[in-house]
Each structure stands twice: as C-alpha cells, then as structure tokens.
C-alpha cells in the first residue's frame, strides 16, 4: 500500500514497485489516482489521512499486508513567525496523526505478513529546513514514531527514507516562496528516490535497513 499515490513521488513509487508487488494505491479519490491505478492494474483505496476516524472501515478487509509506504504529506512554506495554528494542525494531522492511525489499523495485517513499513521522511526530519517550520517539526515526529515502531514491533522491518529536495509540485511551491526560479535539475528526481526506496524494500529478508539518506549530487 502506497499513500499519496497520485502525486509525483507516489506515482514513481508505484512504477518502481509494480514489477515485484501487487499495488494498493491509497489517497483521496481523484482522476489522478485513478490514472495511476489504471497504468498498473492496481486497486485504489479511498483514504483521507486528515479523517483518521474513517480509516478503520476502509482497511478492515485487509488481513495481510507485505509493505506499507507512508508517502502522503503536506507542507506549508513559512518561518515560525509566519506560520498559523491552522497550518500546524493540518500538517500534524496528515503527516503524523494520519500516518499513525493508518499504521495502527494495519498492524494485524502487517504482523501476519512479517511486513515492512516505510516512512518517506525528509532531510528536514534530520535537520530543520529554513522556511518549513511546521513541516520540519512533523518530520521529526514521524521519525520518532518510526523508531518507536521498530523498537516495539520486532517482527516488522521499519525504514525511514530521508531524501533531499525532490523535483515535485511541492518543491515548486517552496522555490516560489524562496523567490527563486525553479530548475528541476537542481533536485533529486522522483524516480531516483523511488528506486532507492524499492531497493530497501526488496533487500534480502535478513537485512533490516533502518534509515536511508539520499541527497542530490
């Protein structure tokens, strides 16, 4: 299962994993999500991470799950003094609480498969990025949850992926906030990050990759 599967990195993750996995693409219903699913014969799962109370009913049919990739996320460019409480609530609701809620609901299915939980984190989850106050805080929290899950669920593999800046629509918004011209060649491609993530997922079963840090050259 890949959350945020309609976006740039989500779509790239689907492409990287389609040869080896049956895909369950999770996200808010949209033509973009349907289009990604259509390319790979995948199933869509209508999950809104901002509504954690609705998650249980959606994933209840799943009794076994090999891989859960937390890719969905939001970011509101802004330094601390520029940020609003509503932005902080929204960021934490999707990036942290939604991810926790989905993981908790899927724990029985993941345990049954001795599965793998992957968190697409960020370089901001290791060192806060200027102009991304609420986003950086949410990624630190997500990293803490991943570490706790790894400690508490020894039958699972848990990996945090910390890419540098990726050439996506979210990146365009951040560059616009910074007042610079957007040049995608300055950033990692979504396909590169997806392939690195797929390598961690497809690693031999006796390998447990805790953390992956990827930076543009």
Residue 217's Cβ-side half-sphere holds a number of Cα atoms within 13 Å equal to: 1
Mean pLDDT across 152-162: 98
The pTM (predicted TM-score) of the whole model is 0.93
Domain layout of the chain by residue ranges? 2-206
Whole-number Å distance between alpha carbons of 114 and 16: 22
**Alpha-carbon radius of gyration of the chain:** 16
Mean pLDDT across 90-107: 97
Q: Are 194 and 12 in contact (CB under 8 A)?
A: yes
Higher-pLDDT residue of 167, 128: 128
pLDDT, position 83: 93
Whole-number Å distance between alpha carbons of 103 and 212: 20
Residue 76 among the catalytic residues: no
pLDDT, position 166: 84
- Residue 57, burial from CB neighbour count under 10 angstroms (0-12, 13-18, 19+): exposed
Q: Does domain 2-206 have CATH number 3.40.720.10?
A: no
Average pLDDT, the chain: 93
pLDDT digits (tens, 9 = 90+) for 28-53: 999 999 999 999 999 999 999 999 99
Q: Is the pLDDT of residue 169 over 90?
A: no
pLDDT, position 52: 94
Q: Are 45 and 26 in contact (CB under 8 A)?
A: yes
Q: What is the DSSP secondary-structure string of 46-68?
A: E--TT-GGGHHHHHTT----SEE
pLDDT digits (tens, 9 = 90+) for 191-216: 999 999 999 999 999 999 999 999 98
Residue 62: CB atoms within 10 A of its CB come to 17
pLDDT, position 58: 95
Marked catalytic residue, from 40, 135, 177, 182: 135
């Amino acid at each position: 299962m890949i959350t945020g599967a309609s976006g740039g990195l989500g779509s790239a993750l689907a492409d990287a994993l389609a040869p080896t996995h049956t895909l369950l693409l999770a996200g808010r219903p949209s033509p973009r999500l349907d289009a990604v699913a259509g390319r790979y014969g995948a199933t869509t799962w209508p999950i809104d991470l901002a509504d954690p109370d609705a998650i249980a009913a959606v994933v209840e049919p799943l009794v076994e799950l090999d891989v859960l990739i937390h890719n969905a996320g939001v970011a509101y460019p802004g330094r601390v003094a520029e940020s609003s409480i509503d932005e902080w609530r929204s960021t934490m609701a999707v990036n942290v609480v939604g991810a926790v809620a989905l993981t908790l609901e899927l724990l029985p299915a993941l345990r049954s498969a001795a599965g793998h939980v992957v968190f697409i984190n960020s370089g901001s989850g290791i060192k806060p990025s200027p102009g991304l106050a609420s986003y950086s805080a949410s990624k630190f929290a997500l990293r803490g949850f991943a570490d706790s899950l790894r400690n508490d669920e020894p039958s699972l593999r848990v990996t945090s992926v910390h890419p540098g800046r990726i050439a996506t629509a979210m990146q365009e918004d951040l560059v616009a906030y910074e007042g610079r011209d957007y040049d995608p060649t300055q950033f990692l491609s979504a396909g590169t990050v997806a392939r690195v993530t797929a390598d961690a997922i497809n690693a031999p079963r006796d390998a447990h990759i805790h953390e992956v840090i990827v930076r543009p050259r």
